[in-house]
Structure 1
Amino acid sequence: MSLRPRGPTVALVDDLRDLLTRAAELAAAHRAGLADRPVARPADPAVLRAAFGGPLPAGPADPASVLEELARAAEPGLVATAGPRFFGFVIGGALPAATAADVLAAGWDQNGFNAVLSPAAAAAEEVAGAWLKELLGLPATASAGFVTGGQAANTVGLAAARHHVLAEAGWDVERDGLAGAPRVRVVASEERHATIDRALRLLGFGTRAVEPVRARPDGAIDVQDLERALGDRPQIVCLQAGNVNTGACDDLRTACELAHRHGAWVHVDGAFGLWAAANPGTAALLDGAELADSWACDGHKWLNVPYDSGFAFCAHPEVHAEAIAYRAAYLTGAGEVSGMGDLTLESSRRARGFAVWAALRELGRDGVAELVDRCCRLARRFAAALAAGGAEIANDVVLNQVLASFGDDARTDALVRAIQLDGTCWLGGTTWRGRRYLRISVSNWLTTEADVDRSAAAILRLAGR
Structure 2
Amino acid sequence: MNDERAAALPVAVDHARSWLESLADRPVPPQAPVEEVVERLGSELPDGPQDPAKVVEQLATACEPGLTAMPSGRFYGMVIGGTHPAALAADWLVSAWDQNAGLARVTPAMTAVEQVAGTWLLDILGLPAGSAVGFVTGGTMANFTGLAAGRDTVLRQAGWDVSSRGLVGGPGVRVLVGLERHDTVDLVLRYLGLGAPTAVEADAEGRLVVADLERRLLEHNGPTVVCLQAGNVHSGGYDPFTDAIEVAHDHGAWVHVDGAFGLFAAATTAYRHLLAGVEGADSWATDAHKTLNVPYDCGISVVRDPAAVKAAMGMHGDYLIHDEAGDPFEKVPELSRRARSVPVYAVLAALGRTGVSDLVERMAGHAAAFARGIEEIPGAEVLNDVVFTQVCVSFGDDERTRAVVARLLADGEAWMSGSVWRGRAVLRISVSNWSTTESDVRRSLRAVARAAQPE
Match of 1:7 in 2: none
Q: Which residue of 2 aligns with 1:452?
A: 441
TM-score by length of 2: 0.97
3-state SS of paired residue (1:402):
strand
Q: Secondary structure at the match of 2:367?
A: helix
- Partners of 1:233 and 1:263 within 8 A in 2: no
How far apart are the structure 2 equivalents of 1:183 and 1:346? 26
Q: How far apart, CA to CA, are the structure 2 residues paired with 1:53 and 1:344?
A: 37
- Given that 1:241 and 1:274 are in contact with CA atoms closer than 8 Å, whether structure 2 keeps it comes out as yes
Equivalent-residue separation in structure 2 for 1:136 and 1:353 (angstroms): 16
Match of 2:417 among 407, 428, 433: 428
**Count of residues in Structure 1 that have an aligned counterpart in Structure 2:** 451
- Rounded Cα–Cα distance in structure 2 between residues aligned with 1:187 and 1:63: 52
Q: Spell out the pairing of 1:177-216 with structure 2 (5 A cutoff).
A: 177-207=166-196, 210-216=197-203
Give the whole-Å Cα distance in 2 for the aligned partners of 1:98 and 1:316: 29
**1:324-343 equivalent positions in 2, closer than 5 A:** 324-333=313-322, 336-338=325-327, 340-343=328-331
For 1:347, the equivalent position in structure 2 comes to 335
1:244 aligns with 2:233: yes
- Asked whether the 8 Å contact 2:138–2:297 carries over to 1, the reply is yes
Opposite residue 317 of structure 2, the aligned amino acid is A
User: Match for 2:210: what amino acid?
Assistant: V
Matched, 1:378 2:366: yes
In structure 2, C-alpha distance between the alignment counterparts of 1:132 and 1:45, rounded to whole Å: 38
Q: How many Å separate the matches in 1 of 2:308 and 2:158?
A: 15
**Amino acid corresponding to residue 202 of structure 2 in structure 1:** A
Sequence identity of aligned pairs in percent? 50
For residue 270 of structure 1, what is the aligned residue in structure 2?
A: 259
Query: What is the rounded CA distance, in whole Å, between the counterparts of 1:120 and 1:28 in structure 2?
Result: 29
What displacement does 1:335 show? 5.2
1:214 partner letter: E
Quote the Cα distance in structure 1 between the aligned partners of 2:42 and 2:241: 51
Counterpart of 2:53 in structure 1 is: 64
Give the corresponding residue for 2:209: 222
Amino acid across the alignment from 1:379: A
Q: Tell me, yes or no, if the aligned pair for 1:395 and 1:403 is still in contact at 8 Å.
A: yes
Which whole-Å CA distance do the structure 1 matches of 2:31 and 2:60 have between them? 18
Aligned to 1:364: 352
What's the offset of the Cα at 1:40?
A: 0.9
| Aligned partner of residue 375 in structure 2, secondary structure | helix
Within 2, Cα distance between the matches of 1:92 and 1:21?
A: 26
Corresponding position of 1:322? 311
Q: Distance in 1 between matches of 2:411 and 2:297?
A: 29
Structure 1 residue 37 corresponds to structure 2 residue 26? yes
Deviation at 1:21, TM superposition (A): 2.5
Residues 220, 248 of structure 1: 8 Å contact kept: yes
Pick from 259, 269, 273 the counterpart of residue 280 of structure 1.
269
- Equivalent residue, structure 2, for 1:6: none
Would the aligned equivalents of 1:41 and 1:421 in 2 still touch at CA under 8 Å? no
Runs of 4+ in 1 over 2 A off after TM superposition: 334-338
- 2:352 counterpart SS class: helix
AA partner of residue 217 (structure 2): L
The structural deviation recorded for 1:224 is: 1.1
Does structure 2 retain, via aligned residues, the 8 Å contact 1:149–1:311?
yes
Match of 1:166 in 2: 155
**What is the distance in 1 between the residues matched to 2:303 and 2:200?**
24
Q: What's the CA shift for 1:15?
A: 4.2
Task: Provide closer, same or farther for how the CA distance between residues 65 and 42 of structure 1 changes in structure 2, counting only shifts above 3 A.
Answer: closer
Question: 1-side partners of 2:144 and 2:405: how far apart?
Answer: 32
Return the offset for 1:42. Answer: 3.8
Determine helix, strand or coil for the equivalent of 2:293: coil
CA distance in 2, matches of 1:175, 1:248: 40
- What is the root-mean-square deviation in Å for CA atoms of aligned residues? 1.1
In 2, Cα distance between equivalents of 1:20 and 1:116: 30
User: Which of 133, 145, 164 lines up with 1:156 in the alignment?
Assistant: 145
Give the drift of 1:116: 2.4
Q: Which residue number corresponds to residue 5 of structure 1?
A: none
Post-superposition offset of 1:336? 4.5
Q: Work out whether residues 233 and 264 of structure 1, in 8 Å CA contact, stay in contact via their aligned partners in 2.
A: no
Gaps of 5+ in 2: none
1:427 positional shift: 1.1
1:302 paired to 2:291: yes
1:463 and 2:452 are equivalent in the alignment: yes
Alignment of 1:233 onto 2:222: yes
Which stretches in structure 1 are left out of the alignment for 5+ residues? 1-9
SS in 1 for 2:198: strand
Q: What's the offset of the Cα at 1:334?
A: 5.1
| 1:112 paired residue number | 101
2:329 is matched by which residue type in structure 1? G
2:450 aligned partner, one-letter code: R
After TM superposition, give the deviation of residue 91 of structure 1 in Å.
1.2
Decide whether the 8 Å contact of 2:84 with 2:293 is kept in 1: yes
Deviation of the 1:35 alpha carbon? 1.2
Tell me what 2:130 maps to: 141
Which amino acid in 2 is paired with 1:257?
E
Partner of 2:8: 19
Amino acid at match of 1:367: G
Counterpart CA distance in 2 for 1:45 and 1:211 is: 39
Deviation at 1:45, TM superposition (A): 2.1
SS in structure 1 of the partner of residue 239 of structure 2: coil
Distance 1:41 1:295 in 2: 34
Any idea what the Cα deviations from partners look like across 1:186-213, whole Å, max 9, x if unmatched?
1111111111100110000111xx2211
Q: Which amino acid aligns with 1:96?
A: P
- The answer to whether the 8 A contact 2:405-2:451 is kept is no
Return 180-189 or 225-234, whichever deviates more.
225-234
